[in-house]
Structure 1
Amino acid sequence: MPSPMTFSAAFVRTPDGWSGAEVDLDAAEIVDDFGDAVQESLGLAGDELALLCVEVEDEWFAIVRYRGDDEPRVFLSDAQAGLTDPLGELFAEFAGVAPDKDTPDLGVRPAGDFELLSDLGVSKEELLELSMEEGVHPADILSVIAERLAFADELDRLR
């Protein structure tokens, strides 16, 4: 089975707006590798706010929020992501959930920190509503979020 198409990019908020860079997560073996890849891709120096956005074809997306030495905060659109590929497994672990292998058709179950974007303009309710909307692809959901947070142009440029 071919591995699903993955897109991952990180965005840092600067005084001039948001700046983004593609992030290669192919070599990630543990969740700490995500932060290292973000830092390297963006050239982070300190307490900047950075978001890692990952979308896997028509299956799931994840957002990780980094800021200086704070614990990273993660949102995963579907706890079952761990059933689809190794990257999904890492994100499920990061979000603190285990996919239910016995009942893989449970439907979409978001996991992790539902409020990681609340102070930026996307409420917990809105994030959950976007994640659970039938027939909407992860790329479209990330586009809506990027639009709300004002980095849609950077996201489009990297896609």
Structure 2
Amino acid sequence: MVRGTYRRPVPTQSVEAAPAKRGSALPGFAVAAIREEGRWRCVRLDAVALEDLDAAITALRGLRSQGAVIGLLDVDDEFFVLLRPGPGGVRLLISDAVAALDYDVAADVLDLLRVELPPDDDALDDPWPEGDLGILSDLGLPADELEILVGDLDLYPDEQLESIARRLGFADSLDEAVGH
């Protein structure tokens, strides 16, 4: 099972994104979904959150909500990242770990998870999720359902995030935040 809070017993190395993607503004969206008193609201995060995982985590922690806070990053319509800061650290899920070859934020996710890409290029042909599939279990989206959703290669990342938002009850607020 893929989990984002465990530590694999493998040596770590930094995964650095390809130069072509560094420093350029990326398409997509970064949104915080906040649940307080049984109601969800979504707010757009600064676009730098799509490029810098620390910026995304800092922005989410700055919201200081009593309820659940989930970060949803749709990066360049290539992959998504779910973030959930808590007192003991941050829980993470990336929909495609292979994206770390091309995107700094994806490389940062793998570094934080202490996960390496396999050295075999053939293993990099197919996308695979990495992190905590149970990240939304306590909010009503079990790990096995999230795994099926993440594995649906017929959906673009924004569609996957929309499905997650619909399942948890904040699809309208997400649409409003991203301007659909």
Structure having the higher Rg: 2
Matched with 2:43 is: 21
Matched residue type, 1:78? D
Matched with 2:9 is: none
Q: Which moved more, 1:51-60 or 1:91-100?
A: 91-100
Matched with 1:51 is: 70
Matches of 2:105 and 2:33 in 1, distance apart? 20
2:117 aligned to which of 78, 88, 99: 99
Give 1:35 deviation, angstroms.
Answer: 2.2
Residues 1:29 and 1:79: Cα distance change in structure 2 (over 3 Å): closer
2:138 aligned to which of 107, 119, 137: 119
Figure out how many residues of one structure are paired with residues of the other and give that number: 155
Task: State whether residues 81 and 92 of structure 1, in contact with CA within 8 Å, keep that contact through their aligned partners in structure 2.
Answer: no
1:62 aligned to which of 58, 81, 87: 81
Q: Which moved more, 1:3-12 or 1:108-117?
A: 3-12
The TM-score with structure 2 as length reference comes to: 0.75
Q: Deviations over 1:42-98 (max 9, x none)?
A: x325x431000001233111101123x232111111111211211221122233322
Task: State whether residues 30 and 71 of structure 2, in contact with CA within 8 Å, keep that contact through their aligned partners in structure 1.
Answer: yes
Residues 1:154 and 1:27: Cα distance change in structure 2 (over 3 Å): closer
Matched residue type, 1:44? R
Task: State whether residues 49 and 56 of structure 2, in contact with CA within 8 Å, keep that contact through their aligned partners in structure 1.
Answer: no
Matches of 2:73 and 2:162 in 1, distance apart? 12
Residues 1:107 and 1:86: Cα distance change in structure 2 (over 3 Å): same
| Larger relative contact order, structure 1 or 2 (CA cutoff 8 Å, min sep 6) | 2
Task: State whether residues 21 and 158 of structure 1, in contact with CA within 8 Å, keep that contact through their aligned partners in structure 2.
Answer: yes
Q: Which moved more, 1:86-95 or 1:13-22?
A: 86-95
SS at match of 1:48: coil
Q: Which moved more, 1:22-31 or 1:8-17?
A: 22-31
Matched, 1:39 2:58: no
Matches of 1:124 and 1:50 in 2, distance apart? 18
The TM-score with structure 1 as length reference comes to: 0.84
Give 1:136 deviation, angstroms.
Answer: 1.0
Q: Which moved more, 1:84-93 or 1:1-10?
A: 1-10
Unaligned runs of 5+ in 1: none
Aligned alpha-carbon RMSD (Å)? 2.4
Matched, 1:152 2:171: yes
Matched residue type, 1:119? D
Unaligned runs of 5+ in 2: 1-19
